[in-house]
Structures are given as structure tokens and as C-alpha cells.
């Protein structure tokens, strides 16, 4: 079994994840962390929520990013504002001992001005929902021509929520030299289509049963007004 030390991650990151109680890498992390650290090739990873995929892409990206550079180096697209905030919080926790790191979540349903101010202050990683990300690109606040890593998280959810056109527009603005990392629980034809349009000979990794939920996650639902959605979720 591999360990986080074996991957050659920076000591600051090892210390942060040890504080979080991460002892051994999950199955997806054992596959994605060494791959992303060593290769700049594209990657498709089939993994459900709850399998540890945020650290699976977050740790190697954080390890490779240069905190001295102020242009955006990594962009993570995710389907919902809750997921954006969660990813941003997780990445900030992994990077808490690396000085100069800035991670900003951008999502709709919240005022755009504070997000604009944060982006103007300089940031290395943006985590965004497709609609708000595209809005900020069109306003020329968010400049994605410097990104080296693009993560499409829960790509199947983004497509089923109707973000295909926004994603097409965003991807058209990113440099062809970037590494694209696509995470999805399922592999419908539309994801295969995106992969063949936007990715170059991607490596494929699959953990767990295809199209199955993670065993350590249960689902419940409550019907609430949309304005109460976030507080109900909390």
C-alpha cells in the first residue's frame, strides 16, 4: 500500500493532511496523485463523491503550483455553489502552511462584487460554477489564459444541469497546453464527447463499481424553498 510520504509531497502539505487525520491514501488518491505529479497528460477519473477525489487532484496541483506567481494557475469547475465552497475550503486546509497561496471560490446566487475584489488581489486557484466563471471571463476579470491545470469535477452533473454551452465557451478560452483532469461518477455519451473534443489521449482511471454510489455516503432529501437551501443544507 502506498503512503502520502511515498508520493514526495511538500512537507507543508504532508503536515496539513496529517493534522486533518489523513493516514493512508484512498484508492483514487493512490492512482491520481502520482500520475498528476509525474505527468502532464490529460486524465479521466471515474469516481464517486466521497472517495477522496478532492485531495486526489488538489494535493498534486498544490504541490506543483508556484505560490510566487500571481496569475491563475489552476481552475476547477464544479456544478454547485456548495461543492465550490467545499473544494475551496478543503484546498485552503491542505495549503494552510504554504505562504502566499490564494484560492477563491466564484459562484452564482451571491454578489459578484466581493468575488471581483478577491480576484483582483491576485489568486493562484479559482474554483467556480460554470455560469459565474463564464460571466467573470466575459467581464475580463477572470483571465484563464495562464492556467496550467483545468479540473472538471463531477463533469456528468455539470452536463446534466445544463452547463454544456458555458463549459464549451470557458474551455475555448483556456490554453491548449494545460493539463485537463476530468472527474465523473458516470461515463455517459456526452462526457465521452467532451473528452474526445477537449482532451488529448487521456489516461483513464476507474475506482469502485461503475455508476454506483460510494458505500460510505447515504442520501436523504428534504423539500425546501430555494432561498432556504443553503441553511437547510448546513
115 interacts with ligand AMP by CB under 6 A: no
**Interface residue with ligand AMP, options 12, 34, 35, 50 (CB under 6 A):** 50
52 interacts with ligand AMP by CB under 6 A: yes
What span, in angstroms and rounded, lies between the C-alpha atoms of 202 and 65? 21
What span, in angstroms and rounded, lies between the C-alpha atoms of 111 and 81? 13
What span, in angstroms and rounded, lies between the C-alpha atoms of 41 and 177? 10
> Of the two residues 25 and 128, which places its CB atom closer to ligand AMP in the complex?
25
186 conformational bin, left if phi > 0, alpha if psi -120 to 50, beta if neither:
beta
25 interacts with ligand AMP by CB under 6 A: yes
**Interface residue with ligand AMP, options 53, 81, 132, 178 (CB under 6 A):** 53
Place of cell 502552511: 97
> Of the two residues 101 and 183, which places its CB atom closer to ligand AMP in the complex?
183
CB of 2 to ligand AMP, least distance (A): 11
> Of the two residues 58 and 171, which places its CB atom closer to ligand AMP in the complex?
58
202 interacts with ligand AMP by CB under 6 A: no
CB of 230 to ligand AMP, least distance (A): 18
26 interacts with ligand AMP by CB under 6 A: yes
Place of cell 425546501: 224
60 interacts with ligand AMP by CB under 6 A: no
> Of the two residues 18 and 200, which places its CB atom closer to ligand AMP in the complex?
18
What span, in angstroms and rounded, lies between the C-alpha atoms of 221 and 234? 13
C-alpha cell at 105: 471560490
Residues 6+ apart with CB under 8 A from 69: 124
Contact of 59 with 86, CB cutoff 8 Å:
no
Of the candidate spans 44-52, 74-82, 141-149, 183-191, the one that interacts with ligand AMP by CB under 6 A turns out to be 44-52
**Interface residue with ligand AMP, options 55, 59, 62, 205 (CB under 6 A):** 55
Q: How many residues comprise the chain?
A: 234
**Interface residue with ligand AMP, options 10, 49, 98, 229 (CB under 6 A):** 49
**Interface residue with ligand AMP, options 12, 22, 112, 157 (CB under 6 A):** 22
Residues 6+ apart with CB under 8 A from 48: 185, 208, 212, 213, 214, 217
Say what angle helices 11-19 and 81-94 make with each other, to 10 degrees. Answer: 120
Number of residues that bind ligand AMP (CB under 6 A): 12
Interface residues with ligand AMP (CB under 6 A)?
Answer: 21-22, 25-26, 29, 49-55
Amino acid at each position: 500500500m502506498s503512503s502520502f510520504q511515498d508520493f514526495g509531497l511538500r512537507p507543508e502539505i504532508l503536515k496539513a493532511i496529517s493534522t486533518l487525520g489523513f493516514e493512508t491514501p484512498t484508492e483514487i488518491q493512490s492512482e491520481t496523485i502520482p500520475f498528476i505529479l509525474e505527468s502532464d497528460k490529460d486524465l479521466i477519473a471515474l469516481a464517486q463523491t466521497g472517495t477522496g477525489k478532492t485531495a486526489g487532484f488538489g494535493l498534486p496541483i498544490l504541490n506543483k503550483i508556484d505560490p510566487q506567481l500571481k496569475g491563475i494557475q489552476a481552475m476547477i469547475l464544479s456544478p454547485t455553489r456548495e461543492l465550490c465552497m467545499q473544494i475551496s475550503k478543503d484546498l485552503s486546509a491542505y495549503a494552510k502552511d504554504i505562504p502566499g497561496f490564494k484560492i477563491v471560490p466564484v459562484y452564482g446566487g451571491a454578489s459578484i462584487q466581493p468575488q471581483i475584489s478577491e480576484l483582483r488581489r491576485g489568486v493562484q486557484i479559482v474554483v467556480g460554477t460554470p455560469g459565474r466563471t463564464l460571466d467573470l471571463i466575459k467581464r475580463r476579470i477572470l483571465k484563464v489564459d495562464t492556467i496550467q491545470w483545468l479540473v472538471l469535477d463531477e463533469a456528468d452533473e455539470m452536463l446534466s444541469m445544463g452547463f454544456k454551452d458555458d463549459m464549451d465557451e470557458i474551455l475555448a478560452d483556456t490554453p491548449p497546453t494545460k493539463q485537463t483532469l476530468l472527474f465523473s461518477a458516470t461515463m455517459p455519451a456526452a462526457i465521452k464527447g467532451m473528452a474526445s473534443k477537449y482532451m488529448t489521449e487521456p489516461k483513464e482511471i476507474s475506482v469502485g463499481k461503475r455508476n454506483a454510489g460510494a458505500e460510505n455516503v447515504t442520501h436523504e432529501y428534504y423539500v425546501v424553498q430555494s432561498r432556504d437551501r443553503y441553511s437547510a443544507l448546513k
